[in-house]
Amino acid sequence: MSILHTIRSPQDLSKLSAEQLGRLAEEIREFLITHVSATGGHLGPNLGVVELTLAVHRVFDSPRDSIVFDTGHQSYVHKLVTGRQDFSTLRQQGGLAGYPDRSESVHDILESSHASSSLAWADGISRARALQGEGDRYVVPIIGDGALTGGMAWEALNNIAADKDRRVVIVVNDNGRSYAPTVGGIANQLSKLRRGVLDKVRTHPVYESVMDGTKRRLINGGPLSQMTYRSLHAMKKGAKDFWAPQGLFEDLGMKYIGPVDGHDQSALEEALEDARSYEGPVIVHAITEKGRGYAPARADEADQFHAVGVIDPETGDPVSRGSSRSWTSVFEEEIAAIADEREDIVALTGAMLIPVGLRTLAAKHPERVLDVGIAEQHAVASAAGLAYGGLHPVVAVYATFLNRAFDQVLMDVALHKAGVTFVLDRAGVTGPDGPSHHGVWDLSLLQLVPGLRIAAPRDSARLREELREAVAVEDAPTVVRFSKGNVNDELDALRRLDDGVDVLHTSSKPDPDGSWTNDVMIVSVGAMGELSLDVARRLEDQGITATVVDPRWVLPVPESVVALAARHRIVVCIEDGVKAGGVGARIRQEMREAGVDTALNEVGLPVEFLAHGTRSQIFERVGLTSAQIAQDTVAQVLGTKVPFARRLPGEDLPTGEIPVFRSR
């Protein structure tokens, strides 16, 4: 029996010898390579934190001591040692989540996969412990060096450092990377730190007692004593900075231990024990290797297998490469082409240059691509400044990450009518990464921003087209959003209306004035084109005529959409964002303001955090399928389900029972 199979809780680790711990680390890496290669997931980060996770769990007592993982993609080893060793359905519907998940274990705390928030959680948890008389319980946030580029981390450090009695041990997992190599001044400072010979002495309680006593006596003495204290303090700081330059943290008043080899089990445990014995806020700086122990990951210069699909565990090669292009690759190609034509185009991203499709542009025009680290708020405000300076910034981020910079979109960009284009990758349901990665909030949040315009392309041709239209706007923010995964097949329009709305399908011939009348008008938002056309076909099978339009630009609502709504009995808006405050809700408002009383049914996602699963599985769970939408629409046309379709003069209602549609 392997050692790993005997581990059911963190307490089981305390029984192991040094030799057994070494074997366990090897087994864990073999387990991760075997299982993650079969399901896909975050492989490189977890291979790098094996010894670190074991050390934390051996020194601290989870769940009494709170272990908080920042971002959480490096929590697989934590899952293994807390009794979760069935990885056969990792990140699949009903299986283990790819991040910490409270429903899985009492050892999990922070579920969000947004970076840089762990230290704020640690601040709050430690304050709560102190206020409730449980100040002897430790809080251990594990934060990557990449997450330290986020402003939230430093705001929290400012507060943690101010209270010398709180038992917070901050473990900096420094592998020089977030997704890709960490950038900026923080990264430069971390790279300069080296192990100091004074660390163990400086964290010992006796040392602190002697230093505090000496300091008080000298300061409370006469002018000569005070001068002596200042001289000795300056000499002490100079000596410390020579042997172990640590001003980055100690200037905040925090104790610093490290750097320590993050793959030396004994050294890690010694450093953590020293930090624990200090009984106050401490930084433990561990140097780790992303992808440790797996040659294909270490050889991957792009991201060292940060996240992989299904791969061959021997070679690291994808099992299936697929022939379809991704939405991201289409954007990557087009933004590079636009930048070739326009010297004012600059791109910004937050530590996600490769995932959001800026690698080609960075290779061709490196001076015009700015990676600001995990700092979305800064990226957006900086973009406003770039626009003021005469450039056209393109801020490329995951849709769910723009949530963090909403205030900057509103008050820095929109208020100043700055020509900034936001490109939102992974919009809508993203699948296996779960609740904090689904990009389902942007259509509702951004509706609130005055002057902002939102494009939702349905295929690659429209993505190229709408991106060019977006960067041509210089007096307002624009947004282009698209899904994760393979780009949809081309859906050519039957015709384009004067205001840019594409008509994808109509059951009737145009009237003499060039317009037309049908029972149902389906408004298809972005990637929902194929689904919308399938709904129309199902309705026609039941004798219900339908029109399918793609607004292309969903905000502001095109006038032709409102005008067409008046010529239909019911409007059905299909979108892959939350229904509350979404595109359908905005169209309803515009219709009412124009005096159009046609019924409208918003079809989208519920306002809830959606568990992980494939896009199709999640759509099935929430009823966002062509069969369900068609069935509901037939009932609305027949007048048996609200909202009721209104009757057109002289037109008979379809008769008969409501059919039950099944998936095709």
Annotation-wise, does 175 bind a ligand?
yes
Q: Are residues 68 and 169 in the same domain?
A: yes
Does position 480 have pLDDT exceeding 90, yes or no?
yes
Q: Are residues 382 and 259 in the same domain?
A: no
3-state secondary structure of 565: helix
Q: Are residues 114 and 194 in the same domain?
A: yes
Taking the mean position of all CA atoms in its chain, how far away is CA 418? Answer: 25
Q: Shortest CA distance to 271 belongs to which of 213, 336, 202?
A: 202
Q: Which of 434, 449, 481 is the last residue of a domain?
A: 481
Give the model's confidence band at 4: pLDDT under 50 very low, under 70 low, under 90 confident, else very high: very high
231 within a domain of the structure (yes/no): no
Annotation-wise, does 608 bind a ligand?
no
Alpha helices (H) in 394-528, listed in sequence order: 406-408, 442-445, 460-471
Annotation-wise, does 278 bind a ligand?
no
Does position 195 have pLDDT exceeding 50, yes or no?
no
Determine the pLDDT at residue 201.
39
3-state secondary structure of 36: helix
Q: Are residues 119 and 150 in the same domain?
A: yes
Beta bridge partners of 428: 439
- Backbone CA torsion sign across 614, 620, 626, 627: positive
Q: Are residues 263 and 147 in the same domain?
A: yes
225 within a domain of the structure (yes/no): no
Q: Are residues 348 and 381 in the same domain?
A: yes
Rounded Cα distance between 627 and 541, Å, is 12
Rounded Cα distance between 28 and 455, Å, is 45
Annotation-wise, does 113 bind a ligand?
yes
Q: Are residues 48 and 90 in the same domain?
A: yes
What is the CATH number for 414? 3.40.50.970
pLDDT tens for each residue of 207-266: 445 555 565 665 566 666 656 655 554 454 444 444 444 556 667 778 999 899 999 999
pLDDT tens for each residue of 428-445: 999 888 898 899 999 999
pLDDT tens for each residue of 144-189: 888 888 899 999 999 999 988 899 999 999 987 555 555 555 556 5
Q: What is the count of structural domains for the chain?
A: 3
Annotation-wise, does 376 bind a ligand?
yes
Decide if 243 contacts 196 (C-beta within 8 A): yes
Q: Which of 282, 299, 316 is the last residue of a domain?
A: 299
305 within a domain of the structure (yes/no): no
Domain ranges, residue 581? 495-638
Q: What percent of the chain has pLDDT over 70?
A: 85
Q: Which of 453, 481, 509 is the last residue of a domain?
A: 481
Annotation-wise, does 173 bind a ligand?
no
Q: Are residues 203 and 334 in the same domain?
A: no
Determine the pLDDT at residue 184.
58
Higher pLDDT, 301 or 33: 33
Residue type at 422 in one-letter notation: F
662 within a domain of the structure (yes/no): no
Determine the pLDDT at residue 224.
66
Active-site positions read 290, 376, 404
418 within a domain of the structure (yes/no): yes
Q: CA separation (Å) from 472 to 122, 412, 477?
A: 45, 20, 11
Determine the pLDDT at residue 244.
44
Q: Are residues 204 and 254 in the same domain?
A: yes
Q: Are residues 603 and 507 in the same domain?
A: yes
pLDDT tens for each residue of 520-569: 999 999 999 999 999 999 999 999 999 999 999 999 999 999 999 999 99
DSSP state of 611: P
Q: Are residues 466 and 510 in the same domain?
A: no
Alpha helices (H) in 132-264, listed in sequence order: 151-160, 185-192, 199-202, 205-220, 223-243, 247-250
45 within a domain of the structure (yes/no): yes
Q: Are residues 255 and 354 in the same domain?
A: no
Annotation-wise, does 333 bind a ligand?
no
Higher pLDDT, 55 or 303: 55
Rounded Cα distance between 442 and 632, Å, is 26
Q: How many other C-beta atoms can be found within 10 angstroms of the C-beta atom of residue 293?
A: 18
pLDDT tens for each residue of 9-44: 999 999 999 999 999 999 999 999 999 999 999 999
240 within a domain of the structure (yes/no): no
223 within a domain of the structure (yes/no): no
